[in-house]
A and B are shown apart, each in its own frame.
Chain A
């Protein structure tokens, strides 16, 4: 089966050339062609946020990114170490605060919280809620997620970690 084109992606540090069809979006390329399941396919409409990844340093919903556009990009997912220094402490805080139940929303929740902390290491609660607003959680009601980000905010930037 021929595809429209070949694109090169570096996902969590691993560079791969893969054939894609022009009507594919990045979430499907990551999951189905590259086996990266730390992005999830939820609404496919840009609402739920669980397909979030960091594309060339920018936090995006990958269900909205045409595959052809993604050629040559570096992609960090929740599973990788390439998604910034805030991801590891956020993962711990989300567990400590029980800020998830089924866990489906975590890619978007944690990566958008990381995007906020990159920009502002000491956000107020309104900024935290705003940052999480592009992610739908159907289990917890968001309060614990806000609490988890608050916990990381209080501790401040980790002195070591991956950048």
Chain B
């Protein structure tokens, strides 16, 4: 017998109502979009909800270009991102990251950006990329909808500021009149491995680019706009000042190794920006 009951709401409002009902009744809901991280964890008993709210049929699988931002629904897969001409043209960084997601075609067909942000794994591609892009997270509950900057949404390793009765409906990414030049670098030890350290770079008006590091701290680490010749010192200085409780390490690599490779990854991402011609 299943320890939880699965619900497939027809729309986000019904999903929010289900969450409210479950929480009010003293139950523990779990929301999934693609489910590539949550389903194995459920199978192993690491997650123990009483109600599984599967957004698969909630009508959140669209990419819509609005004035000033693009809204990516919670169940939009990485493959949908790759297949979207609008995203390829307007948000090339996200397009590039989507093409390099670990796990092959099958994972790209199921995994989502919204799900990756909710999982909030420090070593995953999506969090640092979303921070670099200035993404905002659309959070819904029966109490209303709030728009949360992703840097506030991600509160720690595997932690977000979602309340038990809230779900992520979409991720909004600001788009300007012209796409910004970008670069992405990541270190991993095998094609099938999670990333160890990632660096997402976006060109700024000032010389250089903004770099956001993933897999170094428990949440993405944003560096100030930096010209390429100073990036090594800027990364080293920033990491030297990082409080120990924010150091990230996992079975792939310890903190000292991540710290030692981070300047190189940041420099590669910046170099990729410089090589792009607008």
Contacts and interface: CB of A to CB of B under 8 A. Distances in A.
Do A and B associate with each other?
yes
B6 A4 contact: yes
Given A60-B109, A69-B8, A22 B35 contact: no
Given A64-B36, A65-B35, A133-B191, A59 B6 contact: no
B4 A66 contact: no
Contacts of B102: 133
B5 to A, nearest CB: 6
A149 to B, nearest CB: 12
A63 B39 contact: yes
Contacts of A46: 36, 39-40, 103, 106-107
8 contacts: A4-B6, A23-B42, A45-B40, A49-B106, A64-B110, A115-B105, A130-B104, A133-B192
B54 interface: yes
Interface in B96-123: 102-107, 109-110
Contact of B104 (A2, A63, A69, A132): A132
A133 B5 contact: no
B56 interface: yes
B104 A131 contact: yes
The SS class assigned to the A binding surface is mixed
Interface string B46-58: 0000001010110
A156 to B, nearest CB: 21
Given A47-B192, A134-B104, A134-B107, A69 B5 contact: no
Q: How large is the interface on B (under 10, 10 to 19, 20 to 34, 35 or more residues)?
A: 20 to 34
Q: How large is the interface on A (under 10, 10 to 19, 20 to 34, 35 or more residues)?
A: 35 or more
B43 interface: yes
Interface string B77-92: 0000000000000000
Contacts of A65: 35, 39, 110
A45 B40 CA distance: 5
A63 B37 CA distance: 11
Contact of B4 (A23, A52, A112): A23
A16 B4 CA distance: 24
Given A58-B110, A59-B105, 16 more contacts: A4-B1, A4-B6, A21-B1, A22-B2, A22-B5, A23-B4, A45-B40, A46-B40, A46-B103, A46-B106, A64-B39, A65-B39, A66-B35, A112-B104, A133-B103, A135-B104
